[in-house]
Amino acid sequence: MIGIATFAGIIIMQLSPPPQVLGICLKAHNVETFNVYPIVQIFEDGKQKFLPDGVGKEIKDGKECIHIIHTDEVGDRLHIEYIRPIRLTIDDFMQLYSVDNKTITVINNETGSINKEIITLDNYDIQYSYFSENNEYTKISNSTLMPPFTKDMVVKIELKSKSKMTK
């Protein structure tokens, strides 16, 4: 009986999908053992924009939910926090950052004051790249091909207006 129960448990564990990591809410902030802080630089038509505070944070069931990928402040740094090392990519981040898969919110501080802007992604050609061990940015044709985030990774997202490209 014990052998059959153990075997059945192993089969069930192999067939059941793992929990959706992006849907997990941290129990507390800055207490987990795995923390990495990759940089994500966003450029809209050559001008740098910044990630807003609060990416990856939401109200869920009446309580604040901080996802394992989030921003702690306005800037270009992500915070990935989990109970163990985990492989997450820019594609995972974009699922939280662009919930509707159509827009992103950026911060423009060209004038010295912080202005939130909503960017409609369909209006841009998007180029992803990362700073590689070759000391250069390596372009990626699709965000799903990006290597996983590391503690010192720098990712660049370049948004080039489609209207400006046709001129």
Q: What is the pLDDT of residues 73-111, one digit of tens each?
A: 999 999 999 988 889 999 999 999 998 889 999 999 888
What is the rounded CA–CA span in Å between residue 47 and residue 61? Answer: 38
What is the rounded CA–CA span in Å between residue 155 and residue 59? Answer: 28
| Total-model pTM | 0.82
Confidence bin at 17 (pLDDT 50/70/90) = very low
Q: Say what the pLDDT of residue 41 is.
A: 97
What is the rounded CA–CA span in Å between residue 134 and residue 67? Answer: 32
Q: In what order do the strands lie in the sheet with 34-36?
A: 34-36, 79-82, 69-70
